[in-house]
Structure 1
Amino acid sequence: MNSNPLKLIFDNYNELNNLMVKEIELATAHPGLTGSYREEMWVKFFRSIIPQKFSFVHGAMIIDSEGGISNEVDIAVIDEQYTPYIFQYHTLKLIPIEAVSMVIECKSTDLPTEQLETWAKKIDSLHAKNTGIARMATGYATGVTNATQSRSQPIKVLVSIKKSVKDRTLMTTREELGEYFDFIIQEQIDKTSDNTKFEVLVKNEKKTLGWWGRRLNQHISDEADHSGLALLTSPDQHQAKNFKECKIHLETKAEQSPDGKDISISYISNKLEDLRIPNNPLLTLNLQLNQLLMLVNNPMLFPHFAYANAFQNLVQE
């Protein structure tokens, strides 16, 4: 047996991929199990790869403090550290958008493009408020005065057991739905071995982490993708060497500060595709998804006053 722990991890993710395919095929062979079993399988998988601070909620709807509401979400992944609220109307679960870090839509063999686009647009139309107030290490903070606490939007994931033999079919799915879902996980049949595995499709994989940060925290998708992630402090020569050894790409740009002084800013210009592991889709998903979760406001402060105001206005009406 190979004693290299990285090789063991690599092999384990490929074995997990095969096991998940077999589980899905078993559930599909027994139609009464398919829907709930499929969701439970994906919860079990995502639970194994993302931090324990996240909780999973089945069959919820997402709301905002302006009265907006999404369509039903199969699985909502929420950060309960600062947003412990799941409002309920009888058995219906209503989750404030500020609590939601990721949404997962589970489909079988049907991928209705228009329906999925509408589902994703409903979530994107919700307005997270950046007016939460909390005590931080440096004092009391609110997103109104703290640029790092902008309004975030959830990472959207589509999982499907629709099987594809042709790479072209997968690419068509990626192009049609890739602007609405950040990750698409779909089955593919290997033409040489007839084995089936899950592939991970990311249309914007070639975008920088800076582009992803703006998309997830500010709802901005720059076509130019002109900059990466600005570092708080520029690294010295020794630190820059460590960055290079770890394949972190640094760019330094001359800019002007608000008071007109010339300054140099270092940017991390890595792209999401730099985290791709060849021939291992689920290990790739692990690294890419967790990196994006670390770019989302962490934590997103809950805007108690915004929701209180919405309920107060409702009473007045």
Structure 2
Amino acid sequence: MSEKKKELDNKKELDKKTILDIVNNYQDNAEALVKELYFKVEHGSTIGTYREGIWKEMFEQIIPKKFVIEQSVFIIDAKGRVSKEVDLAIFDNNFTPYIFRYKNLKFLPIEAVAVVVECKSTSMNKKVLQEWEMAIKELKTANKACARMAAKIVRTGDGFAATPTQTATRPLRILCYLSEDKIKIEDEIKSENKTERECLNFDITIQAIKEKKIEGKKAEKGRLKITFSNEFENLQDWYKSLNHVDEAAYEGKIDEGEVLQNIKLNEYTVHKGKNKEPISLLSFNLQLNQLLVILNNPVLFPNKSYAEMFNDKCREEK
């Protein structure tokens, strides 16, 4: 074997080892994260804030730097509607301002928000979760906006057309929780003629499953179980749901995203070994960032719509 061939073979082996080290690191990170989430301290409500911080660190490892992650925020829209408190909000603040920010009190406009995360520890009340979801779903992006683009001035609303690839956006809704939480994410409702299903409408659920020690057997390591909504069959479905929330209002004058219809999110899952064990955190990194690229926040910020809303509320004051 020539020296050059030997050198190339060594380089291939080193490259392969590096890639496998990255995969193993993701597995180790997921296991360490679960251990931290189950760490017990007797400090009342502070444990919830502590766990939110751990989930925040997980997202910080995989979210591009263009996004900011804030804890404990409220989200507002140009109709004056305000969400319930959001544990974690992932948003783009390059072009979109805070509506209000003073110390730990933060109000973000819905137009900037790409992801909202609800973090639950040892108690999960379905009614509370549904109310939280509804408060997010009620918020709507406005479209009275104008901005200078590379080629021209763009204006939307007041008779001007919305961008066909993005008419009205919404954030991804993520639920992070621990396996000791006793709740059915999906309940069966039996009626006379059929069995219907009532679901919590989160796009993604991330369950931290505790290490399981079984006597006489090898312990099952702590892991993350990440589940995506089965409402969306392909990336086209995700694209339309995130970028064209009120599709009917635009009478079909939108880009349907047909080039995405044959791509499924599960194709982004990374597997390892003969048993094809999924590497959950690495897979989630690739899947979440693909969805963020499709959403590609922010929409043009409707400063005028917010000015009108504040003026309306001020006129209503007696």
The one of 162, 173, 186 aligned to 2:179: 162
Whether the aligned pair in 2 keeps the contact of 1:205 and 1:272 (CA below 8 Å) is no
Match of 1:48 among 35, 39, 61: 61
Change in 2 beyond 3 A, CA 1:174/1:41: farther
Q: Which runs of 5+ in 2 are unaligned?
A: 1-12, 188-196, 249-254, 272-277
CA distance in 2, matches of 1:201, 1:174: 13
Q: Alignment partner of 1:147: what SS?
A: coil
CA distance in 1, matches of 2:300, 2:138: 19
Contact kept, 8 Å, 1:206 with 1:273, in 2: the verdict is no
Q: Is the 8 A contact 2:168 2:246 kept in 1?
A: no
- Answering whether residue 304 of structure 2 is matched by residue 305 of structure 1, we say yes
Distance 2:60 2:235 in 1: 24
Specify the alignment match of 1:286 in structure 2: 285
2:303 & 2:80 partners in 1: Cα distance? 15
What is the Cα deviation at residue 228 of structure 1? 7.4
Query: 1:9/1:116 Cα in 2 relative to 1: closer, same or farther (>3 Å)?
Result: same
Describe the shift of the 1:49–1:89 C-alpha distance in structure 2 as closer, same or farther (beyond 3 A).
Answer: closer
Aligned counterparts of 1:91 and 1:29: Cα–Cα separation in 2: 24
User: Which amino acid in the other structure matches residue 212 of structure 1?
Assistant: W
Q: Relative to structure 1, is the Cα distance of residues 173 and 313 closer, same or farther in structure 2, using a 3 angstrom cutoff?
A: closer
Q: 1:177 to 1:193 in 2, by over 3 A?
A: farther
SS at match of 1:74: strand
Is residue 213 of structure 1 aligned with residue 226 of structure 2?
no
CA contact (8 A) 2:111 2:298 kept: no
Q: CA deviation at 1:25?
A: 2.3
CA contact (8 A) 1:178 1:202 kept: no
Structure 1 residue 90 displacement after superposition = 8.2
TM-score, normalisation: structure 1: 0.77
Counterpart of 2:3 in structure 1 is none
* Residues 170 and 243 in structure 2, CA contact (< 8 A), matched pair in contact too: yes
Q: Secondary structure at the match of 2:154?
A: strand
Partner Cα distance (1:177, 1:84) in 2: 37
Aligned length: 272
Distance 1:107 1:268, change over 3 A: same
Give the equivalent residue in structure 1 for 2:185. 173
Aligned to 1:203: 229
**2:265 corresponds to 1:272:** yes
Offset at 1:174? Answer: 6.2
Cα 1:75–1:44, aligned 2, differ >3 Å: closer, same or farther? same
Q: Is residue 98–residue 106 contact of structure 2 (8 Å, CA) maintained in 1?
A: no
Change in 2 beyond 3 A, CA 1:218/1:149: closer
Paired with 1:276 and 1:221, the residues of 2 have a C-alpha distance of 30
Residue among 186, 190, 206 paired with 1:185: 206
Structure 1 pair 90/291, CA: closer, same or farther in 2 (3 Å)?
A: closer
Indicate the larger mover: 137-146 or 99-108. 137-146
1:111 partner SS: coil
Give the equivalent residue in structure 1 for 2:27.
14
Q: Could you tell me how far apart the structure 1 residues matched to 2:231 and 2:22 are?
A: 23
Provide the rounded CA distance (Å) in 1 between the counterparts of 2:199 and 2:20.
Answer: 31
Name the CA distance, whole Å, in 2 between partners of 1:268 and 1:41: 35
Q: How far off is 1:89 after superposition?
A: 7.3
Larger C-alpha radius of gyration, 1 or 2? 2
1:54-113 Cα distance to aligned partner (Å, 9 max, x none)? 112221111111111111101111110110224147853221111111111110022212
Alpha-carbon offset, residue 215 of structure 1: 0.7
Contact 2:270 2:279 in 1 (8 A): yes
8 Å contact kept, 1:130–1:149 = no
Q: Is the 8 A contact 2:185 2:200 kept in 1?
A: no
Give a deviation string over 1:112-137, Cα, whole Å, max 9, x none.
12211111111011111122211112
More off after superposition, 96-105 vs 137-146: 137-146
State the match for 1:314 in structure 2.
Answer: 313
AA matched with 1:180: N
Sort the Cα spacing of 1:212 and 1:131 in 2 relative to 1 into closer, same or farther, 3 A: same
Tell me what 1:237 maps to.
none
